[in-house]
């Protein structure tokens, strides 16, 4: 199988359980060596991963979670806070910016992780099953958030079983077909 991933696209990585979606994410991240073939990461200097189960610091606010990678990139505190709020608004979380992580719903926490992942300004963002444990309303909100992230110059790859998540992406790579 040969494919090229380009910036400003969100790729759905689909296929049945056991088809290698998570393994391919791990290979793309550079954590696992492929058993055959090659992977070239041209112009990919930084990689972020949003895992299936969102984890955060219970008492820290949503804004804190998104501001952290901005601060780590050297942004001034006030600027990081302002950008964090903008990123939260972009994924539909403006109303919960000051809410502590433990008060967020599953869908809110997953969208928060997407905003935090993008705040790290990665060249490649890997997202593993972002809607796997969510109800339809929360899944739809996550899918909408995914579709808003494609224009930041980042390559986004989303492993998913969810047809709605696949449809929210700009392209699909079906591992069952290969």
pLDDT digits (tens, 9 = 90+) for 82-138: 999 999 998 889 999 999 999 999 889 988 998 999 898 899 999 998 888 788 888
Average pLDDT over residues 154-166: 91
Counting Cα atoms < 13 Å in the Cβ hemisphere of 65 gives 31
Contact 5, 126 (CB under 8 A): no
Average pLDDT value over all residues in the chain? 90
What is the structure's pLDDT at 153? Answer: 82
- The residue with greater pLDDT, 96 or 53, is 96
What is the structure's pLDDT at 37? Answer: 87
Helix (H) or strand (E) holding 157: strand 155-159
What is the structure's pLDDT at 147? Answer: 77
> Based on the number of CB atoms within 10 Å of its own CB, is 42 exposed (0-12), middle (13-18) or buried (19 or more)?
exposed
Statement: residue 178 has pLDDT above 80: no
- Long-range contacts of residues 24-28, Cβ cutoff 8 Å, at least 24 apart: 24/159, 24/175, 25/49, 25/126, 25/128, 25/157, 25/159, 28/124, 28/126, 28/157
Sheet of 9-14, strand order = 47-50, 124-128, 155-159, 9-14, 171-174
Distances (CA, A) of 50 to 29, 110, 127: 12, 8, 5
What is the structure's pLDDT at 146? Answer: 81
Statement: residue 72 has pLDDT above 90: yes
CATH architecture of 9-177: 3-Layer(aba) Sandwich (3.40)
């Amino acid at each position: 199988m040969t494919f090229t991933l380009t910036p400003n696209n969100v790729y759905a990585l689909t296929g049945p359980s056991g088809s290698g979606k998570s393994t391919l994410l791990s290979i793309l991240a550079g954590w696992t060596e492929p058993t055959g073939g090659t992977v070239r990461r041209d112009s990919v200097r930084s990689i972020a991963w949003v895992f299936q189960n969102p984890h955060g610091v219970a008492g820290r606010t949503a804004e804190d979670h998104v501001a952290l990678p901005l601060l780590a990139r050297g942004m001034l505190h006030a600027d990081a806070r302002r950008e964090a709020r903008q990123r939260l608004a972009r994924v539909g979380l403006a109303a919960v910016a000051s809410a502590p992580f433990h008060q967020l719903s599953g869908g809110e926490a997953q969208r928060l992780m997407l905003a935090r992942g993008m705040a790290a300004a990665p060249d490649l963002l890997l997202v593993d099953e972002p809607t796997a444990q969510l109800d339809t309303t929360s899944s739809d909100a996550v899918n909408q958030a995914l579709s808003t992230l494609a224009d930041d110059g980042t390559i986004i790859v989303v492993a998913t079983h969810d047809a709605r998540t696949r449809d929210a992406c700009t392209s699909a790579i079906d591992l069952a077909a290969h």
